[in-house]
Amino acid sequence: MDLIAGLKDIVGDTQVLTGDATAPYRDDWTKKFPSDPLCVVRPATTDEVSAIVKLAAETGTPVVPASGRTGLTGGAQANGQILLSVERMNKIREIRPDARTAIVEAGVILSNLHEACEAKNLVFPLTFGAKGSAMIGGVLSTNAGGSNVVRYGSTRGLCLGLEVVLADGRVMNLMSELHKDNSGYALKDLFIGAEGTLGIITAAVMKLSPKPAAYATAMVATPTLPDALKLLNRLQIATGGAVEAFEFMPRSYIEGHLARFPDQREPFDAPHDINLMVEVGALAPRDATPGDVGSVPIVDYLEEVLAEMMEDGAVLDAVVARNEAQRREMWQRREEAAQVTTGRLPLVNCDVALPLDKVHVFLERMEQVLAELDADAQWICVSHLGDGNVHYTAYPSKKDPALQDALVEKVEDVVLSLGGSFSAEHGIGQYKKPSMARRKNPVAIDVMRTIKAALDPQNLLNPGKVLPD
């Protein structure tokens, strides 16, 4: 049977796109990894995904799963391959408030899940700038992080169960709603972060949390990053571990943000080198209920800690949000990071993870390394400082691939010397395959290859991604 005709038999004529009709699917957000797919197929059910993958296996045709295509590493590029979009698999099947779980399909957009949970006075705490287009299948496949990892963990920690279509078309039902299940290998975790190379995620059981009854949000300036960590630890003690976000933006980022968005304003009256966005969420009524004078206890806690640290000289300046509009302004400054950092070329974009107390050492060493490698280069960064994730972007003085590669290797050298990782939350895709070859433990890569060969012996699921060639 002709492949295209077979696909149309499975999903219907209008859900198989070829030729010019595939144009909307040929680029991801970065525009760096253009696709030329054999076709785009848009299933609506797990059974249809299963049938598509079975047909692909019979014909030896590779399949590249795609969600919102907001990735930064080329993980959904498809050339001459079937691009399988999960966008029509967008049902929130059930929200169970008492169990605090949501059963969702892979094509559910992150912000839609946020809204559905809010209606139940719950939150799905994963959040980042692309939440309006990123989909659950994609965030699971890359083990996405975001701004609230410091309290809730990455996507892996927010998932209880999965439904996965394997390379031969079989459906593996791992849709457990259990918090404890010690029945053999933790197969679910194989597919989270595997970027569709081991199976296609079609549905998931995600953990929800109670919505904080009140937030205390502030922009804070400290003399040094070690002082910022002192603030984080003081706040965790004062609030019982209720810090939701702890985001670092150096002066270079603030200047870049104002240049990109000139209608925005400075976070403080005077400029500072170290700017933090801090948010604490209160669940208990005692922390969230306004007192006789109208003040909210959680805000009072934050202000007390800031005042004490100002007296000690560990905090230089602070602005506490007094309403939701001011809170949203602070979040907007941070969530527009992608537009700020990618606004000029050429660039070298690095997503690295470090021990929290080594972030400042990394930045100090990179100042020296960058100057030695390219005296005219510039840099900018933004960091989920609460979990040690640094998005470091260097701007070389010339468009030279060899120079860009050397910059990446220097970043890797510094990161690994400090016990860090060259990949924190954006995945590997194609962009970081050279880093995998250089830096990942060879035995670990051999084990990964063995797993890939066992689950996908024809190498048909998102081939050419994650594992070094």
Q: Note whether residue 462 is domain-resident.
A: no
Q: Note whether residue 446 is domain-resident.
A: no
Same domain, 235 and 317: yes
**Over the stretch 378-406, which tens digit does the pLDDT of each residue have?**
999 999 999 999 999 999 999 999 999 99
Residues 152 and 126 sit within 8 Å (Cβ to Cβ) = yes
Q: Note whether residue 455 is domain-resident.
A: no
Residues 2 and 16 sit within 8 Å (Cβ to Cβ) = no
Q: Note whether residue 146 is domain-resident.
A: yes
Same domain, 277 and 247: yes
Which one, of 118, 148, 114, lies nearest residue 132 by Cα? 114
CATH of the domain at 236: 3.30.70.2190
CATH of the domain at 158: 3.30.465.10
Q: Alpha helix locations (H) across 18-148?
A: 46-59, 110-118, 136-142
Same domain, 236 and 251: yes
Same domain, 135 and 193: yes
Q: Note whether residue 244 is domain-resident.
A: yes
Question: Is 75 in a helix, a strand, or coil?
Answer: coil
Tell me, what's the pLDDT at 344? 87
Q: Note whether residue 453 is domain-resident.
A: no
Looking at the chain, the whole-number percentage of residues with pLDDT higher than 70 is 100
User: Residue 285 gets which letter from DSSP?
Assistant: H
Give, for all 469 residues of the chain, the pLDDT tens digit.
Answer: 599 999 999 999 999 999 999 999 999 988 899 999 999 999 999 999 999 999 999 999 999 999 999 998 999 999 999 999 999 999 999 999 999 999 999 999 999 999 999 999 999 999 998 999 999 999 999 999 999 999 999 999 999 999 999 999 999 999 999 999 999 999 999 999 999 999 999 999 999 999 999 999 999 999 999 999 999 999 999 999 999 999 999 999 999 999 999 999 999 999 999 999 999 999 999 999 998 888 899 999 999 999 999 999 999 999 999 999 999 999 999 999 999 998 888 999 999 999 999 999 999 999 999 999 999 999 999 999 999 999 999 999 999 999 999 999 999 999 999 999 999 999 999 999 999 999 999 999 999 999 999 999 999 999 999 999 8
* Domain end among 85, 104, 137: 85
Same domain, 166 and 131: yes
Same domain, 44 and 68: yes
Q: Note whether residue 391 is domain-resident.
A: yes
Q: Note whether residue 262 is domain-resident.
A: yes
Same domain, 184 and 225: no
Side-by-side strand order, sheet with 243-250: 317-320, 214-221, 274-282, 243-250, 378-384, 389-395, 348-353
CATH of the domain at 23: 3.30.43.10
Same domain, 400 and 287: no
* Domain end among 36, 63, 85: 85
**Over the stretch 301-327, which tens digit does the pLDDT of each residue have?**
999 999 999 999 999 999 999 999 999
**Which residues, 6 or more positions from 163, have their beta carbon under 8 angstroms from its beta carbon?**
46, 171, 172, 173, 174, 175, 201, 202, 203, 204
Same domain, 245 and 159: no
For residue 60, the enclosing domain spans 3-85
**Over the stretch 344-367, which tens digit does the pLDDT of each residue have?**
889 999 999 999 999 999 999 999
d(CA 358, CA 387): 11
Same domain, 100 and 121: yes
CATH of the domain at 370: 3.30.70.2740
* Domain end among 337, 366, 381: 337
Q: Which amino acid is at 462?
A: N
Same domain, 246 and 164: no
Same domain, 97 and 78: no
Q: How many structural domains does the chain have?
A: 4
**Over the stretch 192-212, which tens digit does the pLDDT of each residue have?**
999 999 999 999 999 999 999
Tell me, what's the pLDDT at 1? 56
